[in-house]
């Protein structure tokens, strides 16, 4: 009896080879194709390097920024120039009561584009004053005499921004500080909050700083006529800066004033 041996036919072998070739082609494509494992790995490696470089640049930028930022109190000195912007304060203001008339220039703080100067640095807060007059204020009669300080402080508060904690007009103590640091003379006159009365009791006057930096008087109610009169002078607001204000750039010179920012 003849025993038959089992085996694979030629057709089955060919089919098997074809399947293997197809599988090999797919595998090769997955490995070395455009979207294959090798290319994807290279791309991932490149993306990682790019991300590392970007992160390094960002860290360097943050480091440089941290080196540029200066503490306000620890940096500025009296007399330094500062950019304190009021450009967003565009709403015109006014003083009620009829005892004072404020010029259109002063009524809108955004109109003032001059510098500010450091008036005081007490180790906690920095106080600044406008380098120039922000506009004119006409004060009238006994009513004006009684409200000079209120009027000037009100106007100064128009110039408060988010950088400021308080504001005021130029007081007697401020005049002393301005004088001690050669900052009284500006080429124009400006009011102080100080007032006085004549010995006869019918003379009511206020004090201002004239264009040459001298203290002078202005009669709101004259002794010789016993009548109210109106006197006009300039206005220099004083601003106390918040302790969160920092210096972004500058060196305090007029040509390169300090630029501020708030944390």
DSSP character for 228? B
The kind and range of the H/E element at 216 are: strand 215-221
- What is the arithmetic mean of pLDDT over 203-207? 88
Q: Is the pLDDT confidence value at 237 over 90?
A: yes
Express each pLDDT in 26-66 by its tens digit.
766 666 666 666 677 777 777 788 887 887 777 655 544 55
More confident residue, 65 or 149: 149
Read off the pLDDT of residues 80-129 as tens digits, 9 standing for 90 and up.
999 999 999 999 999 988 899 999 999 999 999 999 999 999 999 999 99
Mean pLDDT, residues 138-161 taken together: 94
- What per-residue confidence (pLDDT) applies to 185? 87
Instruction: Order the strands of the 245-249 sheet from edge to edge.
Output: 70-71, 245-249, 258-262, 81-83, 116-121, 126-130, 238-241, 164-168
Q: How confident is the prediction for the chain on average, in pLDDT?
A: 86
Which of 133-147, 166-180, 195-209 is least confident? Answer: 195-209
Q: Kindly tell me the burial class for residue 8, based on how many C-beta atoms sit within 10 Å of its own C-beta (0-12, 13-18, 19 or more).
A: exposed
Euclidean distance between CA atoms 121 and 84, whole angstroms: 16
């Amino acid at each position: 009896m003849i025993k038959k041996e089992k085996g694979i036919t030629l057709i089955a072998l060919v089919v098997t080879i074809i399947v293997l070739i197809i599988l090999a082609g797919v595998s090769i494509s997955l490995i070395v194709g455009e979207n294959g494992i090798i290319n994807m790995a290279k791309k991932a490696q490149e993306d990682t390097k790019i991300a590392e470089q970007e992160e390094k640049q960002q860290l360097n930028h943050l480091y440089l920024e941290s080196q540029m930022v200066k503490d306000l109190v620890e940096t500025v000195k009296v007399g330094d120039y500062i950019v304190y912007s009021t450009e967003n304060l565009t709403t015109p203001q006014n003083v009620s009561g009829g005892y004072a008339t404020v010029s259109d220039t002063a009524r809108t703080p955004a109109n003032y584009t001059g510098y500010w100067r450091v008036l005081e640095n007490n180790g906690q807060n920095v106080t600044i004053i406008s380098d120039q007059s922000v506009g004119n204020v006409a004060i009238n009669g006994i009513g004006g005499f009684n409200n000079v300080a209120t009027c000037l402080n009100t106007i100064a508060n128009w110039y408060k921004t988010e950088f400021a904690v308080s504001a005021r007009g130029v007081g007697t103590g401020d005049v002393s500080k301005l004088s001690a640091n050669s900052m009284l003379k500006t080429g124009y006159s400006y009011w102080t909050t100080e007032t006085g009365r004549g010995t006869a009791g019918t003379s009511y006057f206020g004090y201002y700083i004239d264009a040459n930096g001298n203290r002078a008087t202005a009669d709101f109610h004259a002794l010789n006529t016993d009548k109210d009169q109106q006197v006009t002078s300039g206005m220099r607001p004083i601003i106390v800066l918040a302790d969160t204000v920092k210096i972004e750039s500058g060196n305090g010179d007029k040509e390169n004033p300090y630029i501020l920012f708030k944390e």
